[in-house]
Amino acid sequence: RVSAFAPNPPNRNVQVKSKHVLSTRLFATVEKDEAAVDAPDHMPELRDIAPTIDPKSSNTAFLRYMSDHAFSVANNAKYWNERAQSLLSWEHYPFTSENCEGVVTGGFEYGDVAWFSGAKLNVCYNAIDRHVQNGKADQVAMIWEGDEPGQVLKFTYSDMLRRVSEIANALKSQGVKKGDVVTIYMPMIPQLPMTILACARIGAVHSVVFAGFSSEALSARISASKSKFVVTTDNGVRGGKTIPLKKIVDDAIERNDCKDIVKNVMVFERERSIASDAVTADPSAMNWISDRDVNMNDLLPKQRPYCTPETMDAEDELFILYTSGSTGQPKGLVHTTGGYSLYAAHTIQTTFDLQPNDVFACVADCGWITGHTYVVYAPLLSGSTTVLFESTPLYPDAGRYWDMVERHKISLFYTAPTAIRSLVRFGDDIPKKYDLSSLRILGSVGEPINPAAWQWYYETVGQERCTVVDTYWQTETGGHIVTNIPGVTPMKPGSCTLPLYGIDLVVLDPMTGEAIEGNDVEGVLAIRSPWPGIARTCLGDHARYLSTYLRPYPGYYFTGDAVYRDKDGFYFITGRVDDVLNVSGHRIGTAEVESALVKHPSVAQAAVVGRPHPIKGEAIIAYATPTESNTEDEEELVKELRLLVRSEIGPFASPDVICVTPSLPMTRSGKIMRRVLRKISAGEADQLGDVSTLADPGVVDVLIELMEKQA
């Protein structure tokens, strides 16, 4: 059993001093027979383990949270106006504490939200220069932990200023201008965050593509963003394996219309970038295309190590990040300069109680939003020390994280439940071998954390001394939106607990779209009013932005997640309601995998569903029906399909099971009944429910038999 009220470090963060307006909404109790309301069926254990919270016994910090939260929601513009002035340095800030009119304009009707428009700042200046100017020139800004343990580089804030400036000037020398999109396809070497910041410095819009994506996926993202510039490395190294990134970039540019789009590929040599004594790689080994490719390691020594930061409007685009949705096409979400950076700084300081002397290790890859916000922007905007981790939790063994915690005296550690689950298997002795006394707060992100993983994280890693923060958010939200706050709000295992300041969270009835009041209720999760970190549009497709997020429930931002609000008002995310899977904390659209499968000439139709997986959260189960003319051997076909998914999306999207079937469960109107496939995949064929609308009910038995063979 875990205690809900483990000792929390006091939060020294100063929130807006508000009049104490007590929110009653959180504890509005509903008169209902408690036993009559079931927990979401796939999370029964959570209800079991989650203790009841008696509001009367709540500490003052918690009561203060409630009043601050209520204040921040009721006075949205005023609240963020204060945060903006205290957390960022603006070149020009047209609002005053007395007058915050215009701090936020637009809304959810047209999706024309703008924060602080007219205000000017540079995010890179805020992440580096101001710390150099304020006495932190020699403080370590970034610790790089390479793939091999002990392969460490440290960069002070003044090192960062020089390095980022050199890269910024190198980008300029290649013709990159304010507003240009720069695609970054790089491994987790120091030059990755530095290139991100260099783009921000000169006002270029970065589009980081996770280096696990295939050449086709990279190509689609370059093409969609019309990105003339690509920055990459010769190779990436992870878990001892070398990945030829430049070669993948070369292949990507051969695909779609990228040959006409990409003018310039800037290549870092990984070895030369991390070791000053490394020898120059042989250009012929890198398939050098002389009128297109530029060697960054040759270019950098020629650059002046100072570059003047570009003045940007708060609403200028800062970056694009592609994420999966319910169609085959990934969405390029656009984040803007002022709102995003404010939200990054605000959330890390609130959720992680981040202090300047903290060593913050978020072990996510910079190719995902978690890496953007909590490896790069948030810790550096806050003037602390960030850790950049190139390897995996299991390389060279399952003690890698804890070894790193000990060596770097990491105080705040942030990972995903899937990584925790993969380590639990190796037992308690491994973390116990290391000195973990530097740890203060442990974070979880990406998917709901199951009780067993939570307990292990809290007891074995955190030694019942550290707060575990379960941070719920999305690529679209820019930063945390629902999480407990150390020393302020209580932990509840499996629950991301309560909304952060400024987030007006609602549970909607999925059918009527009405907000559901009271507690012990289920519905879909939505937000009532804009916050600074919200993505502003989908690149080149605002209609898609509206139809995905703002039109499904008019007046609200729709997260796509289902939620249960328990009797204490605490939130439990119960899974996505769209066709998006969460595999090892990675968002994968079933439609993306399906469109990859049907590219095979022998496949007539494909359907992809998720099924619970003990480590990955969800496993990908694919069903494919062969064309009538297909003569291919089944085993061969499955092999080819697997390769196809790897080459269309990336190895991380490779299905766990590919089942070749003569037919799929279709309704008479020709729709695939995924509900049926999900149940069969999960081995719950006895709970199929109503299948009377199936065109051919006989298909069910065929599929059950096929699935049993797979197991």
Q: Which residues sit at the interface with ligand 6R9, rule CB under 6 A?
A: 323, 368-370, 445-448, 470-475, 496, 559-561, 573, 576, 582, 587
Give least dist CB 331 to ligand 6R9, A: 10
Main-chain dihedrals φ then ψ at residue 150, nearest 5 degrees: 85, -5
Going by C-alpha positions, the residue among 435, 450, 573, 560 that lies closest to residue 510 is: 560
Smallest separation (angstroms) from ligand 6R9 to the CB of 475 = 3
Instruction: Give the nearer residue to ligand 6R9 in terms of CB position, either 219 or 418.
Output: 418
Nearer to ligand 6R9, 82 or 447 (CB): 447
Angle between helices 245-254 and 215-225 (to 10 degrees): 60
Q: What is the DSSP string of 540-567?
A: T-HHHHIIIIISSSTTSEEEEEEEEE-T
CA 78 – CA 62 distance, rounded (Å) = 22
- What's the min distance (Å) between Cβ of 301 and ligand 6R9? 38
Nearest approach, Cβ of residue 449 and ligand 6R9 (Å): 7
Residue written as tokens 């289920």?
522
Rounded to a whole number of angstroms, the minimum distance from the CB of residue 447 to ligand 6R9 is: 5
Q: Which is nearer to ligand 6R9, 309 or 589 (CB)?
A: 589
Handedness of CA 686, 591, 650, 703 (dihedral sign): positive
Of 125 and 340, nearer to ligand 6R9 (C-beta) is 340
Comparing CB distances to ligand 6R9, the nearer of 81 and 324 is: 324
Closest CA to 683 of 591, 592, 603, 611: 611
Nearer residue to ligand 6R9 within complex by CB, 353 or 618: 618
3-state helix, strand, coil in the chain (%, to 5): 35, 20, 45
- Amino acid found at 700: V
SS3 153: strand
φ, ψ for residue 169, nearest 5 deg: -65, -35
The angle formed by the CA atoms of residues 608, 614 and 422, to the nearest 5 degrees, is: 120
Closer to ligand 6R9 at the Cβ: 334 or 445? Answer: 445
Nearest-approach distance from CB 476 to ligand 6R9, in angstroms:
7
Contact 492, 539 (CB under 8 A): no
Q: How far apart are CA 64 and CA 59, in angstroms?
A: 9
Q: How far is CA 627 from the centre of its chain?
A: 38
Cβ closest to ligand 6R9, residue 165 vs residue 351:
351
Identify which of residues 442 and 638 has a Cβ nearer to ligand 6R9 in the complex: 442
CB of 641 vs ligand 6R9, minimal distance in Å: 25
SS3 of 443-508: EEECCCCCHHHHHHHHHHHCCCCCEEEEEECCHHHCCCCECCCCCCCCCCCCCCECECCCCCEEEE
Task: Choose among 504, 145, 545: nearest CA to 329.
Answer: 545
Instruction: Name residues whose C-beta falls within 8 Å of residue 228's C-beta, 6 or more positions apart in sequence.
Output: 180, 181, 261, 262, 263, 264
- AA letter at 479: G
**Taking the complex as a whole, how short is the minimal distance between the CB of residue 368 and ligand 6R9, in angstroms?**
6
CB closer to ligand 6R9 out of 236 and 478: 478
Asked if residue 285 lies in contact with residue 294, where contact means CB atoms within 8 angstroms, the answer is no
**Minimum CB separation from ligand 6R9 for residue 375, in Å?**
12
Minimum distance from residue 482 beta carbon to ligand 6R9 (Å):
8
What letter represents residue 420's amino acid? Answer: I
| Residue 371 C-beta: closest distance to ligand 6R9, Å | 10
DSSP conformational letter for 699? H
The smaller minimum CB distance to ligand 6R9, of residues 373 and 681, is found at 373
Amino acid identity at 18: S
Q: Which is nearer to ligand 6R9, 236 or 446 (CB)?
A: 446
Measured distance CA(160)–CA(246) in Å, rounded: 25
DSSP β-ladder status, 359-362 and 657-660: unpaired
Least Å distance, CB 154 to ligand 6R9, is 27
